[in-house]
Amino acid sequence: MIVFFEALAKDFWNLVKLNLIFCVCALPSAALFLLNFLGILGGFAFVLSIAAAFPIGGSVCACMFCVTKMIRRDPGYVWYDFKRKFKENLKQATAPGILCTLFVYLQIYLWQNLMQSGANIALILAGIITLLIFGMTAPYIFVQIAYIELKTSQIVKNSVLIAFANTGRSLAGALLGFVIWIIFAALLPDSLIATPALIVLGFSISWLMNLVCIWPPIDKLFTIDETLRGRSGQEL
């Protein structure tokens, strides 16, 4: 975790910037989903929230690219790097971003229903297992889109294989990435007081904790850092 604290200390304000940029990208979808969650506009708001999620995939790719640059200690300019990667990856990342957003919204409804209707062991286990599999595989998808030119189907296949070939790191990354949000959800409604802090830093800290765990196997498999530094050396 030394890398985590080094990146946090050195790039704190860049993490804040990334978090705020992502929140702006996700705001339309989140606002529409909240309307649906509160019973306003019904299913129409839910459909609109999924449609409005089209920039989320590209923004996640761009954010993860920026965070991995921090982990790699590669100097960068957050807004420039984000804008460049967002434009490059938006088309390929749109479908994964929408599907991941849909998964998150359905998970929220699942856990809300479980809290209201009482314990259902089968549904609880299904929710936990699917959430962990999602948390173990999804980050690999967006990091590969950000760094590697492959078809989306191959990236998804790679992500599943890498996640389960490195189960320890993938599981640790998923749990660390979720920990802030699990604590927030478990302490509701008292935790609502922490909402401004999540808007300022919640997502970027979660990505940093996750990527510290999963970056080494990705970098080892695809030799990303070595390739990029080699290109940089050739340019010099």
pLDDT band with cut points at 50, 70 and 90 for residue 235: very low
d(CA 230, CA 117): 57
- Pull the structure tokens for residue 9: 């200390």
Residue-level length of the chain: 236
pLDDT in tens, 11-29: 999 999 999 999 999 999 9
Cα→Cα distances 126→109, 116, 135, Å: 14, 17, 14
This prediction has a pTM of 0.91
pLDDT band with cut points at 50, 70 and 90 for residue 160: very high
pLDDT band with cut points at 50, 70 and 90 for residue 231: low
pLDDT of residue 39: 83
d(CA 58, CA 89): 5
- Tell me the angle at which helices 203-222 and 224-235 cross, rounded to the nearest 10 degrees: 80
Domain range for 88 is: 2-235
Question: How many alpha carbons fall within 13 Å on the CB side of residue 15?
Answer: 24
pLDDT of residue 7: 86
In this prediction, residues 50-64 reach a mean pLDDT of 97
pLDDT of residue 230: 64
Q: What is the tally of structural domains in the chain?
A: 1
